């Protein structure tokens, strides 16, 4: 639910609220042991941080997501994360 709330906030340009929701979602997915869920949250967090001009955290979140995507064999999302990192 937090992932969806964060995504909705991102789309409505409420970036600070989106970041808060997504960080909570990241913690919940990590506690649940869901690397796939955390990977998607990291992708969204990277997008939020990029839009906020926070390039350090953009790189941090996307790099963490890339590592998970690679380990999980999720080539499509790994490619998307890499492309976003290049921007």
> What Å distances lie between residue 36 and 1, 24, 39, 77, 81, CA to CA?
15, 15, 5, 10, 13
Q: What is the pLDDT of residue 82?
A: 94
Q: What is the pLDDT of residue 9?
A: 57
Q: What is the pLDDT of residue 11?
A: 63
Between CA 28 and CA 5 the distance in angstroms is: 14
Q: What is the pLDDT of residue 19?
A: 87
Between CA 22 and CA 66 the distance in angstroms is: 17
Average confidence (pLDDT) per 10 residues, the chain, 87 residues: 56 79 92 92 93 95 96 93 90
Contact 20, 50 (CB under 8 A): no
Q: What is the pLDDT of residue 87?
A: 80
| pTM of the entire predicted model | 0.82
**Which residue, among 83, 15, 21, has the nearest Cα to 65 in the 3D structure?**
83
């Amino acid at each position: 639910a937090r992932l969806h709330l964060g995504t909705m906030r991102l789309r409505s340009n409420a970036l600070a609220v989106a970041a808060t929701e997504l960080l909570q979602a990241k913690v919940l997915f990590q506690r649940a042991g869901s690397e796939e869920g955390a990977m998607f949250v990291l992708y969204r967090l990277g997008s939020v941080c990029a839009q906020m001009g926070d390039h350090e955290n953009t790189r941090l979140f996307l790099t963490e997501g890339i590592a998970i995507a690679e380990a999980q064999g999720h080539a499509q999302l790994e490619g998307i994360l890499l492309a976003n990192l290049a921007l």
